[in-house]
Structure 1
Amino acid sequence: MLCSLLLNSCTDDSPFKTLTVLEKIKEQGTLHVITRNTPATYFQDKNGETGFEYELVKRFAEHLGVELAIETADNIELLFARLQDPKGPALLAAGITYSPRREHQAKFTDGYLDVVPQVIYNSRSKRPKQAKDLVGKRILIVKDSVHEERLLQLQQEHPELSFEVSDQVETIDLLRMVDENQIDATLVNSNELAMNQVYFPNIQLAFSLNPSMQLQWALNRAFTTLDDSLITEINTFFSRLEQDETISQLSERYFGHVDTLGYVGVNSFAKHLQQRLPRYETSFRRNATKFNLDWRLLAATAYQESHWDPMARSKTGVRGIMMLTMATAKEVNVMNRLDPLQSIRGGAQYLAQMLDRLDDGVREQDRLWFALAAYNVGLGHLEDARMLTEKAGFNPNSWLDVRLHLPRLAEKQWYSQTRYGYARGGEPVHYVNNIRRYYDILTWVTQPQLEDTSIAGQILHAPGIKTQTTTEN
């Protein structure tokens, strides 16, 4: 429809014949963009819509003063098919790079992020050091990707080299398959490896393929044949973001080091129990009573979130001792997330809300673990996991069953069937496990016969707790 209006505006009898494509988009008030539902591009987490490409295109829409309308496609072929539709979106922002094969499909902007194609292998096997070492290996890559073109080029030099392609997988699926030794190797871009490597302990970089490439946006040719106003504006926008280091900051947030969830060493936890918990224990107890929670569970959640640090801040902007997002803080009427008393009250209220919003079929102790998972990944993604659990023939009201299916939210063949799409489904499983350990320790050291003794001394004797010193993850 927008394209038709643009075409009509160029006729001699149109009152809008002097409007450029860019001006017409501003007049319509909406920028239509297509992308992929992947961790490197666009997905939803507890903060709402996020992803590197989403952040960029959202800033561009704000720069234009228009609303952003996002649609997704399940594979690269469908991305470009929609982009070639005269009534399709104005641009494609999905971690795409230019290739000669794509020249006729779209017009490409300037590049905004350097990436390097990298060969990934399982560290438990012999490392391939060059292309000829890939001969005889089980290799799988994303269909229609530039990596397919690279491997076709390598086949000319090494005719024995073979590989398979699939439009049913994304990069994170391929990394998992290498990690689990389902395939021997794959090709991914360096930014995607940096983002996901921490979640797969057995994957390693074998070698890189030169030359490097640049991520670019692709524009609907129905727009660029009219004039260059849109692509010129985008290139100017990228130049400004490079100069003010916005792109570098976003790259660091999404593709820099990603902290893993983990259980801190016993001695570190004991130190925090002595030095930090006493400052906030009264508030944990008071708010737990107010919202009908166990104060030790609330304290354990806060420790997992921030290590009881009221000034804690994540790369995504969640802050405070309960690490509330701005949206959550507003929902629970927390005006200052760095005020530990407000944050604890808000976190308790939000956790109680998660408990109340759960399906009535979830009973007893399982409600706690479901609520904690929702606190971490969002209620929508939790419901997606419950749906997948039920479809697989398991009990969607059992945490033991749902926790087995939550990681599927990171696998394309599964998250493509869900309402809310991709999520790091393994994280809430670790998150809940960690809190349960903290909670068990707090329960042990705060028993009536122990509450008047040294917490640091008692923690080392808690059931199931080893006494050797470990380092903090």
Structure 2
Amino acid sequence: MIRSFSIWVLITIMFFSCQFNQKKSVENHDLFQKSTISKPISFDLDAIKTRDTLRAIVLSGPTSFFVYKGESMGFEYDLLQQLAKELNLSLEIIVAPNFNVLGEWLNSGKGDIVAHNFTPTKTRKEKFTFTNYLYLTKQVLVQRKPDNWRNLKLHQIENMLITDAIDLIGDTVNVRKYSSYKMRLENFMEETGGHIHINEVDATLTTDELIGMVAAGDLKYTIADNTIAEMHAIYFKNIDVSTPISLSQKASWVIRRNAPQLQKALNTWIQKLRKTTDYYVIYNRYFQNSRIIKKHVNSDYYLTKTKQLSPYDDLIKKYSENLPWDWVMLASQIFQESRFDPKAQSWAKAQGLMQIMPSTARELGIEDTSHPEESIKAGTFYLLKLWNKWDTVEDFDTRLKYTLASYNAGLNHLKDAVTLTKAEGLDPNHWQNIEASLLKLTYRKYFSRKDIKYGYIHGIEPVNYVKEIFERYNLYIQLLDTAE
């Protein structure tokens, strides 16, 4: 195990159960290794719009994408939300387990874009297309301060550190194979005529993890973008990230080489985006606000590190055993209802974690709907009751969507949607047909029909309710998988 476990537990992505110098079974390659990547499929913006969904590949990390107290956050995540809105598309986030799969997932069509900060280089451009830059960064040396640094004066600490890149000559620096950091070190040696030993570490390791290993004393040096390094220095107080290795470099996203429509749309959007206040609010939130970043990463509810979504996970797991679906789906619904706030109350006076209506609480004999366990107990009891009402729906996911929509909008409105779907000659076993009927029941032409018994419904609410619960569930599952 790693020596300084008390420091190492702060690593933001995953825990290691073996020594760093043990070889992993996976091959050392990353996004830009040519020999392991398929030719890009032909799937440009017109096809993406036909599909109606933009698929973005991300890596989880304390600035790019993470879940905190059940809510999805991150610089890339927030920008992707804006991009999808700009393109009038739904957004599907695909969390990659490591760098190894990025290029293959992109070119094979699993995703349309890799939303991660990459530096465009001549070699990389031979294989992929890079967007306009989202921000400028520079590479810095990450090194550990002396063990007694707290007892030293600033000039004494500086005297014991590398303060000029030229002093790395003759020493060893640890970077990922094929990374821009390795390329920069090679260029530096060419420029200076000196030799730096480059130790190529396992390509599955992220920059976040390498920084943590320097902080723990398992590595002497690594290289990182200053935006990432400075963020880590907030909670790894024993590292120094002040020594530059490069001049300013562009940080861009990556798309397939044969997607000119998507490239044009992205570049136009980025050019406009960088001039907006929203962009700087998002940038400062994740790269400048040290207090917030530290709060997120050190929280018990930083999902990738702790596998905890909320203070109520044990209760959610307990009562989900009464349901045919897993606790993570129930957790996603509870976040949708109350954002895990037991004191939440809606305009309709629904209360608690699962937003139990007063009439439902009376029916179930619940006196205090703000009590977390009582709320979850009542909510799961009601969910199971609704699930059993839809026993004629054969497909599991479709039946679950019926159940969730009934919880949100009421069982009778879903029955009306089924009636309308059948009246129009469509199959109610296909959820998209029920979605369409729910949306139609917003309009008098449909809710005033004689066969519609329960009238008007603001149909977009249950449609979005179900959609967002499923989307959030998929994100939770992906991040829980990467945390294992």
| Residue matched to 2:263 | 231
> Does structure 1 conserve the Cα–Cα contact (< 8 Å) formed by 2:57 and 2:94?
yes
2:256 aligned partner: 220
The residue type equivalent to 1:184 in the other structure is K
Specify the alignment match of 2:189 in structure 1. 155
* 8 A contact 2:174–2:200 mirrored in 1: yes
236, 242, 246: which one aligns with 1:210:
246
Residue segments in structure 2 that go unaligned for 5+ positions in a row: 1-39, 147-156, 297-314, 316-333, 356-367, 380-476
Q: Is 1:146 matched up with 2:207?
A: no
When residues 348 and 184 of structure 1 are mapped into structure 2, their CA distance, relative to the original with a 3 A threshold, is: farther
8 Å CA contact 2:140–2:245 kept in 1: the answer is: yes
Q: CA RMSD in A?
A: 3.8
Give a deviation string over 1:287-344, Cα, whole Å, max 9, x none: xxxx9xxxxxxxxxxxxxxxxxxxxxxxxxxxxxxxx98863477461489xxx999x
Contact 1:76 / 1:144 at 8 angstroms: preserved in 2? no
Equivalent in the alignment of 1:53:
76
**Matching of residues 90-101 of structure 1 within 5 Å:** 90-101=112-123
Equivalent AA in structure 1 for residue 281 of structure 2: Q
Superposition pairs of residues 120-199 of structure 1, within 5 angstroms: 120-124=142-146, 126-156=160-190, 157-166=192-201, 167-199=203-235
CA contact (8 A) 2:215 2:239 kept: yes
Deviation at residue 132 of structure 1 after TM alignment: 2.5
User: In the alignment, which of 421, 436, 441 is matched to residue 482 of structure 2?
Assistant: 421
Q: Equivalent pairs: percent with the same residue?
A: 20
CA contact (8 A) 2:143 2:221 kept: yes
Relative contact order (C-alpha < 8 Å, sep 6+): which is higher?
2
Given the superposition, is the C-alpha separation of residues 105 and 177 from structure 1 closer, same or farther in structure 2, using an over 3 Å criterion?
Answer: same
Structure-1 residue corresponding to 2:283? 251
Q: Is the 8 A contact 1:155 1:162 kept in 2?
A: no
Q: How does 1:24-423 map to 2 (within 5 A)?
A: 24-85=47-108, 87-124=109-146, 126-156=160-190, 157-166=192-201, 167-222=203-258, 224=259, 228-259=260-291, 260=294, 328-329=338-339, 332=342, 334-335=344-345, 349-350=371-372, 419-421=480-482
CA distance in 1 between partners of 2:373 and 2:180 (Å): 45
CA deviations over 1:169-211 (Å, ceiling 9, x no partner): 2122122222122222211111112322111110112411332
Change (3 A) 1:191 1:350: farther
TM-score, scaled relative to structure 2: 0.51
Paired amino acid for 2:186: L
How many angstroms apart in 1 are the aligned matches of 2:283 and 2:75? Answer: 7
Q: Are the counterparts in 2 of residues 43 and 422 from structure 1 also a CA contact under 8 Å?
A: no
Contact 2:142-2:221 within 8 A present in 1 as well: yes
Shift of 1:118: 0.8
CA drift of 1:26 comes to 1.7
8 Å CA contact 2:184, 2:246 repeated in 1? no
Q: Cα 1:242–1:326, aligned 2, differ >3 Å: closer, same or farther?
A: farther
| Deviations, residues 426-464 of structure 1 (Å, cap 9, x unaligned) | xxxxxxxxxxxxxxxxxxxxxxxxxxxxxxxxxxxxxxx
Any idea what SS the aligned residue of 2:344 has?
A: coil
1:10-30 deviation digits (Å, cap 9, x = unpaired)? xxxxxxxxxxx4333222111
Q: TM-score, normalised by structure 1?
A: 0.52
Distance in 2, matches of 1:354 and 1:175, equals 41
Maintained 8 Å contact 1:76/1:143 = no
Q: Could you tell me whether the CA contact under 8 Å between 1:38 and 1:170 is conserved in 2?
A: no
Q: Given that residues 131 and 266 in structure 2 are in contact (C-alpha distance below 8 angstroms), is that contact kept between their aligned partners in structure 1? A: yes
Give the 3 Å change call, closer, same or farther, for CA 233–252 of structure 1 in structure 2: same
Taking a change above 3 Å as real, the CA distance of residues 129 and 331 of structure 1, as seen in their structure-2 partners, is closer
Contact 1:80 1:105 in 2 (8 A): no
1: CA distance between counterparts of 2:265 and 2:224? 30
AA aligned opposite 1:171: T
**C-alpha distance in 2 between matches for 1:422 and 1:96:** 23
Aligned residues of 2:113 and 2:255 also touching (Cα < 8 A) = yes
Say if 2:140 and 2:224, in contact at 8 Å, map to a contact too.
yes
Which residue identity lines up with residue 52 of structure 2 in the other structure?
Answer: G
Amino acid at match of 1:180: A
